[in-house]
Structure 1
Amino acid sequence: MNRVFIPLSLSQPDPVPADAPTESLGGQTMGTSWSVKLIRPPHLALETIRDGIQQQLDLVIGQMSTWSASSDLSRYNQSEAGSWQALPVPSVPPVHFLRVLDCALDVAERSGGAYDPSIGPLVNLWGFGPDPARSEAPDAAALAQAQARCGWQRVRIDRARNALLQPGGLYLDFSSIAKGYAVDLVAEYLRGIGVSSHLVEIGGELRGHGVKADGQPWWVGLEQPPAPTGSESGMQSVVALHDLALATSGDYRRYFEHAGTRYSHTIDPRTAQPIAHALASVTVLHADCMTADAWATALMVLGDEDGLALALEVGLAALFVRRDGAGFRESMTPAMQAMLS
């Protein structure tokens, strides 16, 4: 049985020839896979489109990857205390690095620090960043030392000089927002060259626009946590991604186990510990994937009660899936409920 979500405000999609085939591109990026489905205008070669997509992905890696020592983000993280680091490509309105940082800081403030782009030292210490993976929890002293380096309030931006202050030991990590931004960048590139019907996906984060040759939108299934052994997976949900993006955060994607405890890759900046509540996943629908990506992480950290309360306050379309005995229990915001068809 399927449950269908349809955006409330739909722009009229561009017409597509009835015989237009759906073509696919894909590859690897940012430690995960990417894929694009599209209706290609006849005057554009598929290889040309692929090259353009790769340029967008390379731009994000070049500016925002903590896994690349030569990225702008890594150069900032490694810079000396008191130094000002020039940000790439000054522009009005701000684009790329600063656009992502501004969004991250906004979500950090509105979530009371449940989301924090400076959480890098803790992510690395728990073994979920570029540092080697762990098989047991770090000790209290190491955690305290790493947490002392964090704090989104320490970020200082000089917009007139297009520069970012390194106050000392600050290590920004855009892992929970950069993939979403890359999805947006690819989608904006495709629309810019006239590919008006497309579905972009990077590591499970998606954004779609337009319709296929049969007039149907890009239908996408909402990611569900793995069902407990011996139980049914439950109702499947699909959403029409036209002028809409989605991102899902779950505690089952990356983790390690030690002495009977499972440690999720989602770290609560306020406690320096992996989340340990019953919330299994959060899906956020939004106009852009960058914002959906950041908010999905913030709500996942907050848990189902506090997360739902904040999602209601902010007006987000969000679906929460909580572990409940041998199964799951769902809750959703009114904005999400209103999309049910």
Structure 2
Amino acid sequence: MSDPVVQSVQGETMGTFWSVRAVVPAALSLASRVNDLQAVLDLVDGQMSTYKPASALSRFNAAPGGTWHVLPAECFEVARHALQVARESDGAYDPTVGPLVNLWGFGPDAARREPPARDSIEAARERIGWWRIKLDAATHSLFQPGGIYLDLSSVAKGYAVDQVGQYLDNTGIASWLVEVGGELKGKGRKPDGSPWRIGIERPGAATGAVQRIDQLSQVVCLSGRAIATSGDYRRRFDAQGVTYSHHIDPRTGWPVPHAVASVSVLASEAMQADPLGTLMTVLGPEQGMACARKRGLAVMFILHGAQGLEERLSPAFEAALAS
């Protein structure tokens, strides 16, 4: 058998891009697995997309109130995890926040240039509430109470990363780095024995805006763990001197007022890291860091400070950098 080498393939899914780097024998071609890899991703997208009317999730969202709906096993697993994070966070993270996201112009509807009316916000809040959804694990069923719009976009990409990794494991590929839309997970090591490393850039950092070159980014080893990053630097609008982020606090109906530029979370599984990035952004640097310390979460905040971008790392994240 020929010596192993790193090979790469990529494609598109969920309105973004995916890529796989893997260690395989030189005589074999990772490109021959592209269709299988795409099929894994298409399965997740086909079940959980809110942009596809025929997806299992879209059918649930469009269903009349008072009805139960059997979901595919994968979709049910992701929905159950999202609702668990909502329960554990007392609703600071809520996968039913979609109507508010759409109202603020950050969903499929037209973008906004000014905040919506307060009565419109209150009307949308009437449709929010993770606790209104009932689950039946025995039948993989969800109860639609009426008007609930479940959005799994903050979990599905992470789940897709994990599923691609599982596929690679099942085919005997033991060392890989998978990315879907900025969510990553790595396993094993490269042929030279080095781990998979990724850099976390400081969003919007201009040349000379930081004191040391190592403040431009953190380098994290992903051999055996996943990372998810959530940021405000691409989707926001300004009105009358106020910046409104696409991160909506489901408890208030308004965009989070914090100076959070981005949050990165490390976890053993990408599906775990993905929604925690959203949760930390909603909680903000003070409550979020307190939560991270209490639960032993590896979290890095990048904040808009008076002197530019500032970093705050939880003890678990600092320990991960050193490992």
Q: TM-score range by the shorter chain?
A: over 0.9
From 293, 306, 310, the equivalent of 2:291 is: 310
Q: Unaligned 5+ residue runs, structure 2?
A: none
Comparing 107-116 with 165-174, which one deviates more in the overlay? Answer: 107-116
Shift of residue 227, structure 1, vs aligned partner? 1.6
Distance 2:178 2:45 in 1: 17
Alignment partner of 1:237: what SS?
strand
Alignment partner of 1:331: what SS?
strand
Shift of residue 283, structure 1, vs aligned partner? 0.8
Contact 1:228 1:327 in 2 (8 A): no
1:33 aligns with 2:8: no
1:297 aligns with 2:278: yes
1:211 aligns with 2:192: no
Distance 1:103 1:117 in 2: 10
Alignment partner of 2:4: what SS?
coil
Alignment partner of 1:21: what SS?
strand
1:248 aligns with 2:229: yes
Comparing 31-40 with 126-135, which one deviates more in the overlay? Answer: 126-135
The verdict on how the C-alpha distance between 1:297 and 1:55 changes in structure 2, with shifts beyond 3 A counting, is same
Shift of residue 44, structure 1, vs aligned partner? 5.2
Q: TM-score, normalised by structure 1?
A: 0.88
Shift of residue 294, structure 1, vs aligned partner? 0.6
Comparing 292-301 with 43-52, which one deviates more in the overlay? Answer: 43-52
Shift of residue 162, structure 1, vs aligned partner? 2.4
Shift of residue 134, structure 1, vs aligned partner? 2.4
* 1:171-221 deviations in Å (ceiling 9; x for gaps): 000111111111111111111111111111111110001111211111111
Comparing 159-168 with 126-135, which one deviates more in the overlay? Answer: 126-135
Letter in 2 for 1:58: D
Alignment partner of 2:262: what SS?
strand
Greater share of residues in helix: 2
Q: Which residue of 1 aligns with 2:245?
A: 264
Distance 1:280 1:125 in 2: 22
1:226 aligns with 2:204: yes
User: Aligned runs of 1:125-140 on 2, under 5 Å?
Assistant: 125-140=103-118
Distance 1:252 1:197 in 2: 32
Q: Which residue of 2 aligns with 1:4?
A: none
Q: Which residue of 2 aligns with 1:183?
A: 161
Distance 1:207 1:101 in 2: 21
Letter in 2 for 1:183: V
From 174, 177, 180, the equivalent of 2:152 is: 174
Shift of residue 230, structure 1, vs aligned partner? 5.7
Comparing 246-255 with 228-237, which one deviates more in the overlay? Answer: 228-237
Letter in 2 for 1:339: A
Shift of residue 149, structure 1, vs aligned partner? 0.2
Higher relative contact order (CA 8 A, sep 6+): 1
Shift of residue 135, structure 1, vs aligned partner? 2.6
Distance 1:286 1:245 in 2: 5
1:104 aligns with 2:82: yes
1:149 aligns with 2:132: no
Shift of residue 313, structure 1, vs aligned partner? 1.6
Shift of residue 293, structure 1, vs aligned partner? 0.6
Alignment partner of 1:59: what SS?
helix
Letter in 1 for 2:4: A
* 1:143-172 deviations in Å (ceiling 9; x for gaps): 111111010111101223321111000000
Shift of residue 42, structure 1, vs aligned partner? 5.9
Contact 1:79 1:166 in 2 (8 A): yes
Contact 2:60 2:69 in 1 (8 A): yes
Distance 1:124 1:41 in 2: 47
Distance 2:84 2:258 in 1: 25
1:340 aligns with 2:318: no
Letter in 1 for 2:202: Q
The verdict on how the C-alpha distance between 1:162 and 1:103 changes in structure 2, with shifts beyond 3 A counting, is closer
Alignment partner of 1:103: what SS?
helix
Letter in 2 for 1:83: T
Letter in 2 for 1:79: A
Letter in 2 for 1:68: K
Alignment partner of 1:318: what SS?
strand
Alignment partner of 1:340: what SS?
helix
1:331 aligns with 2:304: no
Shift of residue 46, structure 1, vs aligned partner? 2.8
How many residues get paired? Answer: 319
Q: Unaligned 5+ residue runs, structure 1?
A: 1-15, 90-95
Share of identical aligned residues, percent?
50
Letter in 2 for 1:323: H
